[in-house]
Chain A
Amino acid sequence: MVDIPLSDFRHMAIEEFDTTKLLEHAARQARERGYDKFPIVDVDSHHYELESLGEILQYMDDPVLQQLAMSATQSGGSKGTGVLPSGIGYQDIGGRVLRYSVRKLEKVGGDEHRDITLTRRWMDAMGTDIAVIFPSPMLQLGLHPQVEMEVAFARAYNRWLVERVLSAEPRIRSMLYLPFNDPAASFRMVQEFAGKPGVVGFMVTAARYRPVHHNDYMRTYALLEEHGLPLAFHSAYDWNEQSMAMMNRFISVHALGFVFHNMIHMTNWIINGLPERFPKLKLIWIESGLAWLPFMIQRLDNEYMMRSSEAPALKKLPGDYIRDMHFTSQPMEVTDMGALETTFRMIKAETQLLYSSDYPHWDFDLPSTIYDLPFLSETAKRNILGGNAARVFGLELGGKLAKVA
């Protein structure tokens, strides 16, 4: 049982939780809109890796770090305390987004990994065929002051994920965590895991303080390009970042933080000419929404026209490089349909945009956020909901994953 504290000294006792039941309305939307007729690929969703922390630490091969992590986990009171950078924050909006506090009540049966069962439950409800999953608290691992712990944890997690989850369920894929604070280890990570079951690319958590244009990263980008595997930047926030620390509410830090770090990485990426140096490397910007992109395009284009001498590697406008990149859709800003339509035009959404839910996080988007847009053709909807992702990741949607187009 979970006892949720409410306002006014009241409490609410909850005894059971079931994802399928929570998402009944999503399943109805899927039926009404005929999602069984075309593939849906969710390019950003999550699981809670700390629920499997004990298993993950078994895969950590530095015996001293492993012992430290195991001990800290046991004595910390809550999982991950002492091992991962603490993410001060209120993702559950004070209990209002109920699934955070009650997910531990959800029952699964059978032998398969709990993460697989739970992931498939929400996928089935939403009508999703393939989901690319990412960890949750590890999104802040790039802020860990011990670089060697980031590397050790990342490799343990990646090994665990491939062996225990990705190998067992072809509908679940991932872009594996790169311990970006250690360029050499990042390179080795790509070497070790490219081609492993379910690995469709690699991911850098954006909340960190290493410039993406540093020469040390060039061989990693080259290796990814060689393998045809996309590189993704998954946004996150750092409330301790000096500017963010001026903000006193989580809404402020979340609204700006989840865009801020990706803005910096994207600016460095383009101004330093990396798209010219790695023309075949596919880039995906994850979980920053879309409203930042018209800003970035206009801002960088306008300044580049006057200061092209500072970005001599560019052969076209910054915005033209941005339009070659890919973006996940969530959290899609929908309060001004005219602005959204303009954004879709500016980023060539029909070919570049990749639907994502971010489920089970608090601000998830259902496929209907794309499917119900009044300004999209049926073809554009289907591209964004699955077709574009199939092309970017080279997904085979044949066999039992196929839906009749």
Chain B
Amino acid sequence: MSRFGDWLNERFPAREMMREHMTEYYAPKNFNIFYYTGSLLLLMIFLQLISGFLLMAHYVPTSQGAFDSVQGIMYDTRWGWLIRYMHVDGVSLIFILLYLHIGRGMLYGSYRKPRELLWIIGYLIYIMMMGEAFFGYVLPFGNLSYWAGQVITSIIHAVPFVGPGLTTLARGGPGVGSATLQRFLALHAVLWFLIIAALIVMHVLALHQVGSNNPDGIEIKQHKGPDGHPVDGIPFHPYYTVKDIFGVGVWLIIFAAIIFYAPTMHGVFLERTTFFRANPMVALPDVTPPWYLAPYYAMLRAIPNKYFGIALMGLAISLPFFLPWLDRNPVRSARYRPVYRMMIIIMAITFFTLAWVGEQPPLPKYFIIERLGAVIYVGFYLLLPIISSIEPTRKVPERVQS
């Protein structure tokens, strides 16, 4: 290569990293549409960083100034609306990608040995993203922000002994106000984001240590050619880089269409109640979380007792960590496991039904749906060890199908 290249590589392992993670990282050749989600998540997180940085240049973290500063971005700042819509719609799109990404992992058994740690790091990112979204949600200080901040910090209140102290610590005072906004901004933009970024790096490193799974759930490393490379593998660069660039193009078309033509997505991506200024005197009839957190809220509400409700929600959020050990079938991919495949489909329908019902007012007619949903959700994980050890499987092919 060039002399500059040589100079650089004697001092920094650029070429080596390129080889290890791009040109000599062999990925299965049979990736399907779900496998775009990883690179798209990287893209979206990067875009959030940029738009978030620009928002922060105008944002005022005080209870008096926050709402107006955000409206100032929308009304008076050149391209301010573009930046804010990017950031706000970006969140919902990230969660859509996360659910596809996680669903893909479940469908093809990507959480199974040797990818347990990859799965756990990934799921940790998801949990961190929920926190990140919550902190960000409070910042514009619309009335929904205010009440969401109140309600969620009051959940910590339920922790035995230290709960009340922790709630005060989280709020920076007895109620949600300027101190809350300042610490939430610090968490949202600095600490939480750095942890997420670090976890993402670990996620990709862990992936490259064990190699990608694929829709057939077959280990490509078991069939190596004379050159020592998997026969069903292709170098990530150039094959998947060009493919992912195409995916990025399609994704940006969707993203731009939303920003330019439906930036609130009918009140789903940017909710109606966020357009009223925070007001401690005007309680909202029901403080429902955004759609991507609503399934857990539905499960919280499914039990009338506050403590048991919180326990159920905690259980629901932590169960996926154990998936690698709950699944006992030797076959990975749902392609060759009709029963498991059906379970995943029911699980996905349940999850999004819970998201819908979590947005509804707390009426008795919805309780039954919330409870049924919670039972199916938890049941999936509890029954999996039994069902996966007795379920019938189809014959798994030797080599990947393309």
Question: Do the two chains belong together in a single complex?
Answer: no
